[in-house]
Amino acid sequence: MAVQPPTEDPLKNHHRYETVKYLSSGSYGFVVLARDRTSGSSVAIKFIERLKGKITKNVEREILNHSILIHPHVVRFEECFLTEKYLAIAMEYAAGGNMYSHVTANHGLQEEHGRFFYQQIILALDYCHKMSISNRDIKLENTLLDSTEPGRNPLIKLCDFGYSINESHSLPKTAVGTPGYTAPEVLMNRTRYDGKLADVWSSGVMLYAMLCCRYPFERPEDDDDPKGQHRIVQRIIKCQYEWPKDKPLSAECKDLMSKIFVADPAARISIAQIQKHPWFRHGLPQNLEVDTYNGHYVKLSKQAADNADAIRRVVREALHEGQEQQSVSGDVDHLAERNSMDTEDSLENDYLSWY
């Protein structure tokens, strides 16, 4: 059940941010668009009420995992801080809305257009996996667009790391994610599974949905069937999907998805193999080496200050009333210097020229 929009300004009297408008809400809390008084830039701020049951280990894990990621296709973490009523997470604002709205507004994307976005999704996932982060909730709604300017292809930004896990600390064992996108091994409640290969499956569902404007394992009759969800789960486990007749796809595109929709994760195509697939390679700059490109951002991420202990303190203080205005954002000067270096880097400029 979605949280109701706030009746009072959650940033009233805040020293740095001021509310511009309410954006959205979910079971976790709500999000507002805010202006940073120090820079004039826009940020999105997620607010989670400071109550037991709301502030959990999952919230702490979400912030910790998100805070270490620095990549053009991941929404940038800015800081977390406390107000009197809320734990707040400030992050980059993506003005173009989410991919679900973009896909439905266009009644599905042309294959070339969908490939353009899928290439970015795989770049982002490859980077996250190199950082030992499995997202576990890849879907259209959790993928944002940075802009909708006429004449410019928007860039995608992965957001929402609420179900993510750092596999350098522990292996995934809980069934999480969104029905319809979830891999068979997750639905079958295996005691351990590879979160990276589960992300590959979800990326395939997302690709199918982008191109076909429907989900591969759902049927129209499922909506009115009390056992509809059960039937969807069974189709996922058995890999029962169809190619829509009204949305013709190339043989290479179908080949890639057939290698993704494999029930046995050990036999499923990997992120590295996707990057070598002919359909995926089409249109990429010849000199783009994903390992080199993402290695650049892995190196930057590891250079960033380690805020893990400070973040844990803020999250845990969220359950103590009267504590507010604490924040964790890392070394601001270091971040400003790093962002400047990103823009000037020749690798970055070569890559962005592709867009």
Annotated binding site for ATP: 46, 92-94, 141-142, 160
Q: What Cα–Cα distance (Å) separates residue 228 from each residue in 1, 38, 97, 240?
A: 21, 51, 30, 14
Binding residues are 46, 92-94, 141-142, 160
Cα 272 from Cα 117, distance rounded (Å): 17
**Is 222 a catalytic site residue?**
no
Q: What SS3 class is residue 8? A: coil
DSSP string of 73-139, one letter each residue: TBPPEEEEEE-SSEEEEEEE--TT-BHHHHHHHTTS--HHHHHHHHHHHHHHHHHHHHTTEE-S---
How far is it, in rounded angstroms, from Cα 245 to Cα 225? 24
Select which of 9, 126, 137, 194 is catalytic: 137
Cβ atoms of 35 and 44 closer than 8 Å: no
Give the Cα-Cα-Cα angle 233, 239, 240 (nearest 5 degrees): 85
354 SS3 class: coil
Residue in 34, 45, 47 with CA at minimum distance from that of residue 3: 47
In angstroms, the Cα distances linking 143 to 135, 302, 310 are 12, 24, 28
What is the Rg, in whole angstroms, of the alpha carbon atoms belonging to the chain?
20
Nearest partner of 55 among 282, 242, 314, 256, judged by Cα? 314
* Positions marked active-site: 137
